Amino acid sequence: MAYFQGFHINRILVYFMFFAFIGLSNPLMAGSDEHHESGEDAPKFDAGRVIIDHIVDAYEWHILDYGNFHLSVPFPVILYDEGQWYVFMSSKFKHGHASYLGYEIAHDGDLKGKIVRKTQDGEIVRPWDLSITKNVFSLFFSSALIIILFMSISRAYKRTRKHAPKGLQSLLEPLIVFIRDEIAITSIGRKNYEKFLPFLLTVFFFIFFNNLLGIIPIFPGGANVTGNIAVTGVLALFTFFITAIRANKNYWAHIFNTPGVPWWLKVPIPLMPIIELVGVFTKPFVLMVRLFANITAGHIIILGFISLIFVFGQSNVFAGYGISIISISLAIFIFFLELLVAFIQAYVFTLLSAIYFGMANEEHHHEEEHH
């Protein structure tokens, strides 16, 4: 297994066959006599470390590590510490094995994977970190891609107003109409849907495009953006603040004085108002966790299936060959399933956001109107 030590698996389908049918044939994979005679112990393949390394953020984009050969894309490191700015490329850290200007990447503890500075007293200090990381770069790339794409579609609509849409127009127009008619109007109502539609369209295509980019096997795809809880948390906060700011007085009245609830659940202990108020905060929390968990789970499952090849292969090369057929088949199946999940998760986040907006803008109905 020494042959693959340090090789970063990027969930890239083109690497699947290379790993299984070329890598496993290397004599070091099976632990040849020559390797044992050298007195060196074959390093063990750590599936957990490989999986975690590929779903968390990083200061550079690892593509390939093989022995002393490292292929990666470094990003700018921007630090503010002790009243000074420090700007340099992440390649100065030598893939996490070196320090630069007194800064290094922590390998353990609560700050593992973050840039820290050790003082003379041995204290670990973390500077203000505004660095461009893998996820940040992917966010910039996907945002630029969405802007360019929809700007070109907008110009195409202006040129062909009297003609049927074609190309990307015909591909994305059904999605836009679907979000407007089946999500915004249905959940919010025709009276108020227009002021929320721009956000709903933006959040849907942002999540959808980043989900798709996350399963594209080559750079600049493969980043776990929507599987990063910080990103999903910010999206959920947008939904929370829009709901709270745009809510009408009936929404807050129903929270603190829920109609149809017995008085003894409201006074002297305001049980129902407390439950309703807690629900205001748990709704965006559920949005955050659902998107994060589903996208991250898909990445972990694919990497887990591929890791089985190396786990079996380090004990016996033929076992590695045998399990590779099953692992690759299952990984490809999950890969195509992720294409469906990419749309479903974008749809669910957008739909729930629209439902929250609709609840916050629901008009008051008098009891006699129901009768």
Query: pLDDT, tens digit, for every residue of 4-53?
Result: 333 333 333 333 333 333 333 333 333 333 343 344 455 677 777 778 77
pLDDT tens figures, 204-242? 999 999 999 888 877 877 788 898 899 999 999 999 999
pLDDT at residue number 15? 38
Closest to 201 in 3D by CA, of 336, 330, 328, 346: 346
pLDDT tens figures, 174-186? 888 899 999 999 9
- Both tokens of 172, joined, read 């994305």
User: What is the pLDDT confidence band of residue 266, given thresholds at 50, 70 and 90?
Assistant: low
pLDDT at residue number 200? 94
Give the dihedral of Cα atoms 249, 255, 258, 263; nearest 10 deg: -120
3-class DSSP state of 86: strand
Q: Is residue 49 part of a domain?
A: no
pLDDT at residue number 320? 78
pLDDT at residue number 12? 36
Q: In this structure, are 212 and 360 located in the same domain?
A: yes
Gyration radius (Cα) of the chain, Å: 26
User: Mean pLDDT over residues 92-110, rounded?
Assistant: 83
Q: In this structure, are 242 and 153 located in the same domain?
A: yes
User: Mean pLDDT over residues 245-258, rounded?
Assistant: 75
How many alpha carbons lie under 13 Å from residue 270 in its C-beta half-sphere? 9
Q: In this structure, are 125 and 142 located in the same domain?
A: no
Contact (CB, 8 A) for 77 and 59: yes
User: What is the number of structural domains in the chain?
Assistant: 2
User: Mean pLDDT over residues 255-284, rounded?
Assistant: 72
Q: In Å, what is the CA distance from 178 to each residue of 24, 39, 184, 194?
A: 48, 65, 9, 14
Q: In this structure, are 169 and 231 located in the same domain?
A: yes
Range of the domain at 348: 134-365
Q: In this structure, are 188 and 102 located in the same domain?
A: no
**Average pLDDT over all residues of the chain:** 78
Angle, CA 65 vertex, CA 63 and CA 69 arms, to 5°:
115
User: What is the pLDDT confidence band of residue 165, given thresholds at 50, 70 and 90?
Assistant: low
Is pLDDT larger for residue 322 or for residue 347?
347
